Chain A
Amino acid sequence: MAADPLDRAATAERLTAIAAAGGLSDRALARALDLASESPRSAEWRAFLSRSLLFLGSALMLAGVIFFFAYNWSELGRFAKFALLELAIAGAAAGAWQFGRTAAGEASLAAAAVLVGPLLAVYGQTYQTGADAWELFAFWAVLILPWVALARMPTLWLLEIALWNVALPLFSQQRLEYHFEEERDPIWVTMAGLDGAAWFLAERLQRSTLSWPKPRWPIRVLAVAAFALASPGAIILVLGHSSDAAPWLGAALMAGLAAAAYLLSKRPERRDLFILATAGTAVLTVLGCAVGRVVFSVTNDFGGVLLMALVVLGEVGALVTWLRKMGSAEVDEA
């Protein structure tokens, strides 16, 4: 990424603004608008269709396999079930070996990792192990960890973290007997910490010299999850509904996440406006709740409503202004 204005996306608004500033004649503007929205070339279409069909085909096949075993077909013996699943896993792993670091190879490895879950489910179903649901997800996550670690595939890491995001709340409910809606339940902040740590680590890895793939979307998913899970604790705290430790931890974590988002974006060439927007929205939501609490405690309801309308206007206006300022140096994706 670079801060050269010519490296910014050729949006219709931008081209129109350039024309208004005298940089393009009417004829040149018309041509520029058409070029900026021109259909991608045939090779790009082929790549787009190829990836879409690969994703769709893999997802449908995996869903089909999961449905097949969910049916618990009684006419199929237990060994046949295990054999089918293990063959599918072995086949997918062999496919990953064969195709290597291509989209097909990555899809095969992801399929192999996903199929470990149904294998564990069939094991539990067959032998009635009495294991809790959290154990299935935790073992699933542990068993695929070697693949995940070796593959250097962001999607697989996302699957690994998603499995822990399912296993942890189930553990909290089934072993610690917390209820998910309870304020004292530390599970929200635990998951926010896990996702936040994964986000931070992913950012560090992407900035290292390692030859990791560079897609931003898995990192953005982690950041959104971290902020979304840390926010409830901070909101409960500012609304003054709890004296438990979990909301304090949530608020502290959110402050830490927001600071991390800001510090990670200090250098324009490494700036991710999406993550800054996520962080800003989370912070302003908590601030809005805090201001609302103060406003409605000192004024009557009608005046408070008007004041809150102005507060929201001010908050969002400030955030949009700040994002525009931060984004002026970023190569946007419009």
Chain B
Amino acid sequence: MRPRLREVVQRMVDEGTISSDDAASLRRSLEKAAAHDQSAPWYVRLLAASGAWISALLLTLFLFAVDLFKSGGVAVAVGVAMVAAACVARAKVRNDFAVQASLAVAVAGEAAALIGMDDAWHLKDTQMALAALVLNAVVVVAMADPVGRFLAAAFSIACAIFISYDSQVLGVAVGFILLLAAGAAAVWLSPPSWGGARWRAIRPSLGVALVAGFLGSLALNLAERSWWDRSAADVITTAGVTALAAFLVAWILREHRIPLRSEPGAVAIAGTLLLGAVAWRTPGILGAASMLALGYHRREVVLLGLAVASFLGFAGWYYYSLELTLLEKSGVLILSGAIALGAREYLRRRRPASSPPPAQGAAT
């Protein structure tokens, strides 16, 4: 998915951003850079996150089992101090054991602080969620670790989804789903070079958490919604997701210098609108397809994985929930398959256009 360092360096030399001497100097710096390189494949990060969570769970269990906190206030103070200490420590350490420990202490500290708040002030569910949201939002900024930032961002977004649902106001709940989609698109479409070093470090973790939150809230949308009008929610959500998907397609076309009024541009937009109209009862289908396009556009393998898994789940739900007999469903499935294969044939028959590199800075 991602280009190799060699390709990036060659492109920069070719376009004159760096000289051949600079490229040689870059090569010499690679060994030194390796010591500070935090890159890791997604499964190593998943492993680190799981380890931190399990350790934090055990640590929290221990703290409360030994009755260390005599009152909720003490738990809040100690919890916040643990989070702060973990953030400071993480910024200083490189060793993987210390990194794991700082992540676990941060999560355990958050748990202690939140349990303490509930004990001291008997907060309502929404207030607890709001407190957790704020605490985690601070961690997203303060914790200099991609795994820690993702965990905090994901938890923060989950709390916000809970608050929006708990409001039992259709506009708020659906509006928040669309806000997550817009946020995910804004983060991933913004140029990676944009902003300061801190934003650049936050961007990938926040972006993945926003996409996960968006797809998760669309899945939640399919579950029990006794307090709202299902059809109205579906129509509003689908309309919003369709508008966003069309915007995303238009953006990608613009980066590839393909006019909207050209045949490929018109077909891409029409296909997006058609998918939104056909699957209006399951907005997750178009939502996942949009995130798939976004992930491929930005060469993010984690986004692609999330989108593919969600797409399969939403598509399965769509066909399962059709109020039709098996025979009728088989007809719908075969027709859908034929349309997909027809679209592929259309793509194949089109004369391959020359493929200039995407417009530089088109996103800016």
Contact = CB atoms under 8 A, between A and B. Distances in A.
A and B are interacting partners: yes
Given A28-B22, A327-B44, A5 B34 contact: yes
Given A37-B299, A41-B358, A9 B39 contact: yes
Interface string B54-78: 1110110110011000000000000
Nearest to B350: A46
Contact of A334 (B2, B9, B355): B2
A274 interface: yes
Interface string B202-244: 0110000000000000000000000000000000000000000
A302 B330 contact: no
A216 to B, nearest CB: 12
A7 B32 contact: no
B120 to A, nearest CB: 23
Interface in A46-73: 46, 48-50, 52-54, 56-68, 70-71, 73
20 contacts: A6-B6, A10-B4, A12-B192, A21-B33, A31-B17, A34-B192, A41-B358, A56-B337, A57-B339, A57-B344, A64-B329, A64-B333, A68-B326, A68-B330, A68-B334, A71-B325, A313-B104, A317-B95, A320-B40, A327-B40
Interface stretch (A155-163, A186-194, A303-311): A303-311
B334 A61 contact: yes
Nearest to B67: A302
Interface string A1-29: 00011111111111111101111110111
A31 B15 CA distance: 11
A301 B56 CA distance: 16
A36 to B, nearest CB: 6
Nearest to A32: B8
Contacts of B66: 302
Q: Is the interface of B mostly helix, strand, loop or mixed?
A: helix
Contacts of B348: 50
B353 interface: yes
A332 interface: yes
Interface of B: 1-9, 11-12, 17-18, 22, 25-34, 36-44, 47-48, 50-52, 54-56, 58-59, 61-62, 65-66, 95-101, 104, 146, 191-193, 197, 200-201, 203-204, 252, 255-256, 258, 292, 296-299, 301, 319, 325-327, 329-341, 343-344, 347-348, 352-353, 355-358, 360-361
Contacts, number: 304
Contacts of A318: 96-97
Contact of B193 (A6, A34, A302): A34
A281 B47 CA distance: 8
A31 B22 CA distance: 14
A91 B345 CA distance: 18
Contacts of B297: 39-40
Q: Is the interface of A mostly helix, strand, loop or mixed?
A: helix
Nearest to B339: A57
B12 A31 contact: yes
A100 interface: no
Contact of B39 (A30, A54, A332): A332
Nearest to B66: A302
A307 to B, nearest CB: 9
- Counting contact residues on chain A (CB < 8 A from B), the size range is 35 or more
Given A28-B12, A35-B11, A317-B100, A324 B40 contact: yes
B59 A309 contact: yes
Given A33-B193, A34-B361, 8 more contacts: A6-B4, A7-B4, A13-B37, A23-B29, A39-B252, A46-B352, A57-B344, A320-B40
A96 to B, nearest CB: 15
A273 to B, nearest CB: 6
A41 B330 contact: no
A106 to B, nearest CB: 14
Contacts of B6: 4, 6-7
Contacts of B48: 316, 320
B5 A16 contact: no
Contacts of A317: 51, 95-101
Contact of B38 (A17, A32, A56, A313): A17
A36 B3 contact: yes
Given A317-B96, A334-B301, A12 B37 contact: no
A30 B9 CA distance: 13
Contacts of A98: none
Nearest to A31: B17
A312 B51 contact: yes
B197 A312 contact: no
A315 interface: yes
A327 B41 contact: yes
Nearest to A67: B330
Contacts of B252: 39
Contacts of A44: 355
